[in-house]
Structure 1
Amino acid sequence: MCSNVRDMMTRDVVSVPTAMTFKQVARTLVDHAISAVPVVDAGGAVAGVVSEADLLRKEEFRELYYREFYEAPGRAWGGYATGTAARRKAEALTAADLMTAPAVTVRPDTSVVRAVRMMDERGVKRLLVVGDDGRLAGIVSRSDLLRLFVRDDRDLETEIREKVLAPARWLAADTVAVAADDGVVTLTGHTRTRSGAELAARMAARVNGVVDVVNRLGWEEDDLSSWRPR
């Protein structure tokens, strides 16, 4: 069923202290082949995050400075107001100066669906996972979440049979057949009621890795046709 972030996150996370120098932060990203790194304070709590884009601000401003210095002396840095976040990062000497804060964080029990929505809403590629004490517990990225959709078809069939259909007391699980093909699950057979057939399909669709559900279940009693919401 729908997983939590703790099921998908990377637990062994590279992090840097707030006092780490610009060059050391850059070296950390290069050595570990990562595009961003969490920044933690002396107590281990998450203070922010530094990305490749943050580091590259320095090169961006260096080019801007020299272009304006030679083309229009006296106007160097004129394109950016003093104190802007971009200029602060360009002048940064430590991780504390470089980082974007506060970092976008989630708790380990946050649902994967909510995590995906947060990434979309906040325009980020990763979320830092923190415990109740604010300390770094892990990190979850878009690529981590994509693993949900590459599960083996036989694995999907087994989970739907054993964890969705078998525990359903209102359903005779042996009357429903499950077949998955490239993540698309087809349910065939029959149930006692139409509502039972539709509920089985909805529950199967909630299993991680299911791309779509084709509901071909028949039913003995149409208990929905006469139902009207009040």
Structure 2
Amino acid sequence: MDSTVGDVMTTGVATVDERTGYRDIVRTLVERRVSALPVLGADGRVVGVVSEEDLLHKEEFTTAGDRRPYRTPARARLRARLSPGGLLTESAEDKAAGSTAADVMTRPAVTIAPTASVVAAARLMERHGVKRLPVVDDGGLLLGIASRRDLLRVFQRADGDIAAAVEREIGAATSAVHGTVAAASVEDGVVTLTGSALHRSTAACLTRMAAGLEGVVSVDNRISWDVDDVLPPYITWRTL
């Protein structure tokens, strides 16, 4: 069974509330040796995330002789408020002038449920351009946090476990396809498939099945086939 976010998330997460001051945020980041903190609202729900990047805007817009934030052109300020995922956030300039978590945090927080798959979490991070996801329950209360490092834990799966999973997956498939025999071996997460099949498409299907299993780094398909029923990419049904 594939791992869920709840299986890999980090618990016992340090947090701040919206009223926490800038220096206290910095102190917590340093003491807990983390790069970001979930921000909780008055009801205990996650309302945002404050990261080192959010805090460093104060240095970005400050010079030794002038404590006033530099005023960027209006179009640039608007563009700065759009995150990679399309979320409207405070501009870097606004954050530079902030003094509390509510002022500098990125909002709204991009969160995920503990029952979501690790693959879903990775896609959500990519879509929104974030490095971590607060994990919340149905009521929005914090359960933990899932970072990119946490998601990589799935690749620590033992080769023996991966081999057993691949054998189960392809075994069920080959038993239903006449003339197909396949076996798998695994080394450092790389799956090698051997055997034979009547059609090339069957061998390709087994490769995709193995590649989709948790912990698989890549698949080396050495299954031989007799009939090439896979059309070259430059041939379409219209040209036939």
TM-score range, shorter chain: 0.7 to 0.9
How far the C-alpha of 1:213 sits from its partner, in A, is 1.6
Per-residue Cα deviation, 1:125-181 (whole angstroms, up to 9, x for no partner): 11222222122222211112222334332332122224x245555269xx5321112
The one-letter code of the counterpart of 2:138 is D
1:151 & 1:99 partners in 2: Cα distance?
Answer: 35
Q: Quick check: 1:155 aligned with 2:158?
A: no
Task: Specify every segment of 5 or more residues in structure 2 that has no aligned partner in the other structure, as ranges.
Answer: 78-89, 231-235
Alpha-carbon distance in 2 for matches of 1:130, 1:144: 16
Q: Are 1:4 and 2:10 matched, yes or no? A: no
Query: What is the alpha-carbon distance in structure 1 between the residues aligned to residue 182 and residue 109 of structure 2?
Result: 47
Change in CA separation of 1:229 and 1:145 when aligned onto 2, cut-off 3 Å: farther
Partner of 1:217: 223
Within the alignment, does 1:67 sit opposite 2:73 as a pair? no
Distance 1:94 1:129 in 2: 23
What is the aligned partner in structure 1 of residue 71 from structure 2?
Answer: 79
User: Given that residues 40 and 46 in structure 1 are in contact (C-alpha distance below 8 angstroms), is that contact kept between their aligned partners in structure 2?
Assistant: yes
SS of corresponding position for 1:106: coil
Q: Given the two structures, how large is their TM-score scaled by the length of structure 1?
A: 0.76
Task: Quote the Cα distance in structure 1 between the aligned partners of 2:70 and 2:136.
Answer: 40
Mapped partners of 2:138, 2:115: distance in 1: 11
2:52 matched residue in structure 1: 52
What does 1:181-220 align with in structure 2 at a 5 Å threshold?
A: 181-190=187-196, 196-218=202-224
Identify the range of structure 1 (32-41 vs 120-129) with the bigger mean alpha-carbon deviation.
120-129
The letter for the 1-side match of 2:53 is A
Q: Distance in 1 between matches of 2:116 and 2:22?
A: 33
Q: Report Cα offsets for 1:53-112 as digits up to 9, x if no partner.
A: 222233344x42x4347xxxxxx4453589973343233332222211111222233333
Structure 1: how far apart are the matches of 2:93 and 2:196? 65
Q: Judging changes above 3 Å, is the alpha-carbon distance between structure 1 residues 156 and 171 closer, same or farther for their aligned structure 2 residues?
A: farther
Distance 2:70 2:206 in 1: 63
Q: Letter of the aligned partner of 2:142 in structure 1?
A: L
- Alpha-carbon RMSD across the aligned residues, in angstroms, is 3.4
Q: SS where residue 189 of structure 1 aligns? A: strand
The corresponding residue for 2:117 is 111
Provide, for residues 187-224 of structure 1, a one-character-per-residue CA deviation record: whole Å limited to 9, x for no partner: 112457665544332211111121222222346x8595
Which residues of structure 1 form unaligned runs of 5+?
70-75
Kindly report which structure 2 residues correspond to 1:87-98, keeping only aligned pairs within 5 A, or say none.
87-98=93-104
Q: Among residues 86, 105, 129, which one is paired with 1:123 in the alignment?
A: 129
Cα distance in structure 2, aligned partners of 1:200 and 1:86 = 48
In 2, Cα distance between the equivalents of 1:34 and 1:124? 15
Contact 1:5 1:115 (8 Å CA) reproduced = yes
Q: Say if 1:16 and 1:40, in contact at 8 Å, map to a contact too.
A: yes
| 2:10 equivalent to 1:14 | no
Give the CA deviation at 1:114: 3.1
The percent of aligned pairs where both chains have the same amino acid is: 46
Does the C-alpha gap of structure 1 residues 167 and 6 become closer, same or farther in structure 2, counting only changes over 3 Å? farther
- Where 1:160 maps in the other structure, the secondary structure is helix
What's the counterpart of residue 39 of structure 2? 39
